Amino acid sequence: MLIVCESEQSEIMASKKSGELLEWDDMQKMKYSWNVACEGMRLTAPLQGTFREAITDFTYAGFTIPKGWKIYWTVSTRNKNSEYFPDPEKFDPSRYEGNGPVPFTYVPFGGGPRLCPGKEYARLAMLTFLKWETVLPNEKIIGDMMPTPEQGLPIRLQLH
């Protein structure tokens, strides 16, 4: 799969003149590379969850939640729900081909009117710096409000 990303990126580099920088159109061509990044975010969500306020009374799983109550919504449990993601522990970038996951089942940047305004910037940063390797590949991840690598996730960037 990394070979496909490298091939996709090498094609873009080959189409550039010496010293010519990446442009937005180049990012749009990195479809498989973005699928790889999305699958990485699905398996280790950038945010574990978030609080919301109930805007109306509703019932869920037999419990009535009154309007105004604070609700904590988890992302990680949704991302690994086998109803929406068959074989949820498997790394499979092809999940994002075609129409991709069912709407609101994969939301690393939120969804609807609360979509993160930095989504496209994050995408640009990830695709630009996708070729890196971890220095500590078996580093332990500490569970907190956000997944935090125990040693700070030292990486080695590779020129490409």
3-state secondary structure of 136: coil
pLDDT tens-digit series, residues 136-154: 778 777 766 666 777 777 7
Can you give the three-state secondary structure of 95-128, one letter per residue?
HHCCCCCCCCCCCECECHHHCCCCHHHHHHHHHH
Q: How close are the terminal C-alpha atoms of the chain, in Å?
A: 17
Show Cβ contacts of residue 24 under 8 Å, excluding neighbours closer than 6 positions: none
**56 vs 35: CA distance, rounded Å:** 36
Cα separation, 37 vs 98, in Å, equals: 16
The domain spans of the chain are 2-157
Class of the CATH domain delimited by 2-157: mainly alpha
pTM: 0.72
Give tens-digit pLDDT for 70-119. Answer: 998 887 788 889 999 999 999 999 999 988 888 888 888 888 887 889 99
